[in-house]
Structures are given as structure tokens and as C-alpha cells.
Amino acid sequence: MTTEKKYWQINTEKLVKEIKEIACKARIEEDLKMAVEPLLQNVFKKMGIDIDIVQYEKTATSFKGKADAVYGYLTIEYKLQGKLSEKTNVKKVVEQLQRYLIEQATQFGQQKEDFLEKAVGVALDGKNILFIRFTKVPTILQTPIPIDKAQAALFYEVEAGHGFQVLGPYPISSASIGNLLIFVRASARRPLFSPTCQVTRQAVSELYSEVMRAQRRHAPSRVKTFFTEWDRIFGVVYGQELEKAEMTAEETAGLYNIPADANLKPLLYAIHTFYAFFMKIIAIELVALQRESSIESFVKGLGAMDDDELFKRLAYLESGADFVDRGIVNFLEADFFSWYLDGWNPSIARVFRDIVRALSDFEPATPILEPEWTRDLLQKLYEVIVPKKLRHDLGEYYTPDWLAGYVVEKSGYIGEIGSRFLDPACGSGTFLVQAINRSIKYAEERKKVDVTDLSRHILDNIAGFDLNPLAVLAARTNYLIAFSKLISYIRPISIPVYLCDSVLAPTRYVEEGKLSFDNTIVFTTTKGDYVFPVSMQEKSHIDKFTSMMDVALRGKIEPESFEKQIRKEFNPSEEDAKLLSQVYRRIKELDDNGENGILQKKNT
């Protein structure tokens, strides 16, 4: 088995200790640089960064001066210990770094500002560290990982604007050095991008074959169950457009080297599954950056796992547990696109290994460093994997950002704390992102807004509904990207984008001959009634319970053991614990029989 380097092997606490020890011994700036640079380069090698790109003492041509070290888009200046503790010195260092970056940008001609947006200037004196970054649009920039409590008063200290912004100085710490490593990695590597066309074609083709094999089997299977339920909702979402879209199946099949007589629905389901997996990877990489003591990437190392190890790792991701571990309680729920785990075989394992290997060459911090770019990427990827004619035949059209912004402005929404915003057919979340951006801008302009209050306002008041399960996942991903600069300030996070029909309002009813309990809530589905205690009606409790249940089902946990988990997590009454255990018991029976999926609500 090959070995791949893993970011989580980088212990930033150890690195901080070594830098501080070096700084104490350094008599001049050159001593600090000559001792710290080999230390950093050793770390960069472990992170998979090509250190041959480094340039030392790079001379500027338009003014006198030499940059100490340049790594791609990142420039480091070393200063004697304590220099960054003095305001006058900080000002001189910032001006020096700005001159270096502007000098480098002149080489890019008309793309000068594009270079500057990617560039990072760093000053380090062994005791403190600061970063400078550039923005073309008025906003407040942040480090990918919040540095202790230093950014908690974000909107008190920083003016929103364009041009260069100074981040710091911050004390040398696990978080501040973690940010240095992320900036170096991002400046030396390519931005996150979609897997190659060959990987995409192979993945979709194999997924399509597995869906078709499942349909031909007489025995029930979870693959068949998920596809059947997706097909039902797909029919509701697209309605009469399906007949027109069938005419485009041949062109779409040719794109993936599939026979011309391909069945459109299984093919589209395979494409949706691939796209959904890509979004999950972007999202988990985004939230994985919130740790302070190590630098990690989800995909790095997966390509070296054998089939069984890869299955277990992806099963944990698909259960939603990876997100729950990081405080995102509902990113994955009612998910139609994890079915590939139930069809797992060497061919499926190979295509997913190829996908994560392709993604491991790109920068996982892109959603934080370039959120708008990442959102554009998701849209462009979908436009590539679903041909234009098929999208239009299905009635799918993206709303341009400028038009969405205009509509939100005309609606009168300005992002004021406490005001509410609902998109009842949110699609991929274009209007939700506009609303989030307006709320952040509103807070930045007024400054006297607590970051935690702003975070809670957005999660409590900016919401979306959609009936399309792929759109819900896309909207949650885009919501998380737009919310990225606030992720670290609030837990738990429940993303307010829901899979539901905003036209059909819920109704209260009691069927003849059926008992009604004041302390219970009954969900009637095509697979029978499921009785929940009213104590679980809080959304956070439901999110937690469903995530726990997904993990337990994947792990084949017995009902008795699951009940113990319930008691530990929720401390319910005896009666409530039994009701929740019974829900799990019945769904596990469906799961064991290959019938578990997204249960259809019974029409009444």
C-alpha cells in the first residue's frame, strides 16, 4: 500500500514552541530567518508543498529592498523579537510588505489585482505574527482560523473597505501558526477545482451501472429504495418537463460513454450522486479548518486506503457524524445520495478513490479564502456535468448574482438584526447567499454588532425551503460557504435549509379509531406510524437524534445499545426513552430488510 502525507500530522503546538525557543536565542533578524526557515520547510514538505518554489532575498526593482522569503503568492519578512509589539514598527513593516506585494503584482499586468487578492504578506518576529491581504471589494477579511478571542470583537476594530487590510499582530500561538500554514499551502497550490473529466466520466458511468443493476434485481435493496423515492420526488419537482428531457438522454449518455439507449432517470441519479459527493467534500474540508492545534484535510490520505478502510471512512462521512463532530448538526439528513455505500464493490471503491485522489491535489481552504470563487465553481461544475439542453429541458436556470442582488434589494431586505428572510423555493441558495452577505455587510458598516449575535441572527432568520433534495444540499453548501467567516463563533450550527413542500402546509388530524396522545407527535408514513415524544419537538433535538440514528444504522448497532446512547445524550424520561428506542427498532427492521430510505409522508 502506498503512503500519503496527512496534514493532521502537523502539530502546531510543537512548532510554536520551537519558533519561540529560536527567537529567544536570535541576536539579529538573520539569525531568526536562518533558524526558522529550515524548520518551516520541514513542515511544508510534510504538508506536500513543493519547497523548490521558495525564493530568498528576492530583490525589488522599483525600490530598494529584498523580501526575506517568497513562497508562491506568500511573502515572509522576519523581524527581531518584539519588533511587532511596537506600533511604529508595525506600520513600517506593513508598508514594506505592501511594497513587496505590489512589486510582484506588476508582473501580472492587467491581472495585477487578481494576483493581489491571492497574495499574503507575513511578518514574524518570534513573539508575534501579522498578515496583510488585499480585497477588491469593500469587506472585512479574516484569518481562516479565528485566533483565540482576538477576532471576537471583529466589527469593533476593523473598517470594512477595499485595498490592503492588516490582520494582527497576533501572539505566536497554535492558531496563528496554523493560519500561516494554511496561507502557505494555499499560495503554493492550485485552488480547489473539480475532478478531471476522465474521473468524472468514469464515476458517473459506474454509478449508473450500479443503479441499473439494482433495478434488475428482484430482491429489495436500499439502492432500489433510495432510487424509487428519489424518482418519486424527481417527478414532483420536474413534472411534465420530464417527457421533453427524455429526448436529451442520448446526448447526455454520450458525454459519459454510456450506450445511447440509456435510461435518463438512473443516469441523472448517478450524476446527482457524483455532484452531491463533491459538495460534501467541499463542506467537510471547510469545517475541518476550525481546529487550532493541527492542520488537516479530509481527503488527504483517503486515496491510500484499501476498500474496507475507505468504505468505513466514507460511511462515517455520509452518516453526518463528521459534521456533527464539528458542531454542524444537520448538514446531512434525509440524504438520497449515500446509496453507493450499499452498492459498494471494487469498481465503486475504485471510482471514489480516484475522486478523492484528484481532489487531494487542490487547496481545501479555498472556500474560506475565496468563497465567491468556490460558489462559482459549484455552479460551473453542475453546468459541465449536466448538459445545457438537458438543464433547460428540465426547466433549470441559474439566477445571476447581480439579478438576485437586485431582487433582494427591491424586497427591502437590508440585513438588519432581527429581520427575517425566507426563500420558499431556494434552489441552490443564490438568494440566501445574498441575504447572508447583506447581514454581514450591515454589521460591518455599523461595527457595534457582536459577532455571536450576528451569527445567531443569520441562522435564526435566513431560511430556505426546496422540494429538490439535490438543491437542498447545494443550498446548504452555499449557505455554509457564505457563513464561513462566522463558523467558529457559534455552536451548534443547524443550517436552516429544509427539504419540504412550501405550498402544502401541515395539517392536524386524528384518524377514526386512532388514539391521540397529548405528549406525543405521530408521523404517518407509507411504512406506518412513528410516535415521538413531544420533548423531542425542538429542532436541535430532532437533528441530533436523526444523526445518531444514521450512525447507529451504519454501524449495525442493536436497539438496546442505541437506547443507552439516547439516555446518555438526552436524559429522557423512561417513557420517552422507550418511544425513541421503538422508532429506531422499527427503522432498523426496514434497514435490515433493505427497505430503509427517505420515508414518504402519507397523504391525508
The whole-angstrom separation of Cα 436 and Cα 375 is 14
Give a yes or no: residue 288 inside a domain: yes
Q: Do 251 and 142 share a structural domain? A: no
Phi/psi for 495 (5° steps) reads -75, 120
Give a yes or no: residue 390 inside a domain: yes
pLDDT at 521: 81
Q: What is the pLDDT of residues 128-171, one digit of tens each?
A: 999 999 988 777 777 877 775 444 443 434 455 568 999 889 99
Choose the final residue of a domain: 505, 534, 558.
505
- Candidates 571, 604, 601; CA nearest to 236 is 601
pLDDT at 293: 45
pLDDT tier at 280, thresholds 50, 70, 90: very high
Q: What is the pLDDT of residues 282-305, one digit of tens each?
A: 899 888 776 544 556 777 778 889
Q: What is the pLDDT of residues 444-455, one digit of tens each?
A: 887 677 888 999
Give a yes or no: residue 512 inside a domain: no
Choose the final residue of a domain: 458, 479, 505.
505
Q: Do 550 and 470 share a structural domain? A: no
Least trusted range by pLDDT, from 15-24, 32-41, 121-130, 513-522: 513-522
The whole-angstrom separation of Cα 203 and Cα 59 is 48
State the DSSP code for 59: E
Least trusted range by pLDDT, from 222-231, 400-409, 422-431, 561-570: 222-231
Least trusted range by pLDDT, from 404-413, 469-478, 553-562, 573-582: 553-562
Q: What is the pLDDT of residues 236-248, one digit of tens each?
A: 788 777 777 887 7
Give a yes or no: residue 511 inside a domain: no
pLDDT at 60 over 50: no
Give the residue, 601 or 570, on which the prediction is more confident.
570
pLDDT at 586 over 60: yes
What residue has cell string 427524455? Answer: 246
Grid coordinates in use for 530? 412513528
Whether this model's pTM surpasses 0.85: no
The whole-angstrom separation of Cα 273 and Cα 260 is 21
DSSP bridge partners of 161: 139
pLDDT at 126 over 50: yes
pLDDT at 319 over 50: yes
Q: Do 344 and 203 share a structural domain? A: yes
Roughly what angle, to the nearest 10 degrees, separates helices 264-288 and 197-216?
120
Give a yes or no: residue 515 inside a domain: no
The whole-angstrom separation of Cα 507 and Cα 269 is 32
Q: Do 146 and 91 share a structural domain? A: yes
Helix H, strand E, coil C: the string for 193-250 is CCCCHHHHHHHHHHHHHHHHHHHHCCCCCHHHHHHHHHHHHHHHHHCCHHHHHHCCHH
How many structural domains comprise the chain?
A: 4
Choose the final residue of a domain: 188, 217, 233.
188
The whole-angstrom separation of Cα 489 and Cα 485 is 9
Local structure of 151: helix, strand or coil: coil
pLDDT at 148: 54
CATH number at residue 483: 3.40.50.150
CA 181 to chain centre: 20
pLDDT at 189: 61
The whole-angstrom separation of Cα 106 and Cα 476 is 39
The whole-angstrom separation of Cα 472 and Cα 155 is 31
pLDDT at 246: 80
Q: Do 466 and 433 share a structural domain? A: yes
Cis omega (within 30 of 0) for bond into 346: no
Q: Do 208 and 296 share a structural domain? A: yes
Q: Do 267 and 241 share a structural domain? A: yes
CATH number at residue 141: 3.90.1570
Q: Do 16 and 125 share a structural domain? A: yes
The beta-strand segments (E) located in 437-564 are 462-466, 497-499, 520-525, 528-533
DSSP 272-310: HHHHHHHHHHHHHHHHHTT-SSEE--SSTTGGGS-HHHH
Give a yes or no: residue 292 inside a domain: yes
pLDDT tier at 574, thresholds 50, 70, 90: very high
Q: Do 205 and 173 share a structural domain? A: no
Which are the contacts of 430, defined by CB distance < 8 A and separation ≥ 6?
398, 399, 401, 404, 478
pLDDT > 90 fraction of the chain, expressed in percent and rounded: 35
pLDDT at 313 over 70: yes
pLDDT tier at 474, thresholds 50, 70, 90: very high
Count Cα atoms within 13 angstroms, Cβ side, for 477: 27
Using alpha carbons only, how large is the chain's radius of gyration in Å?
26
Mean pLDDT (the chain) is 82
Domain residues for the domain of 44 are 7-188
Q: Do 203 and 273 share a structural domain? A: yes
Average pLDDT over residues 468-478: 93
Q: Are residues 113 and 163 in contact, defined by beta-carbon separation less than 8 angstroms?
A: no
pLDDT at 601: 45
Average pLDDT over residues 85-94: 90
Q: Are residues 95 and 49 in contact, defined by beta-carbon separation less than 8 angstroms?
A: no
Q: Do 535 and 408 share a structural domain? A: no
What residue has cell string 501558526? Answer: 177
Roughly what angle, to the nearest 10 degrees, separates helices 174-188 and 29-46?
70
pLDDT at 504: 64
Give a yes or no: residue 108 inside a domain: yes
Give a yes or no: residue 2 inside a domain: no
pLDDT at 603: 41
Q: Do 277 and 370 share a structural domain? A: yes
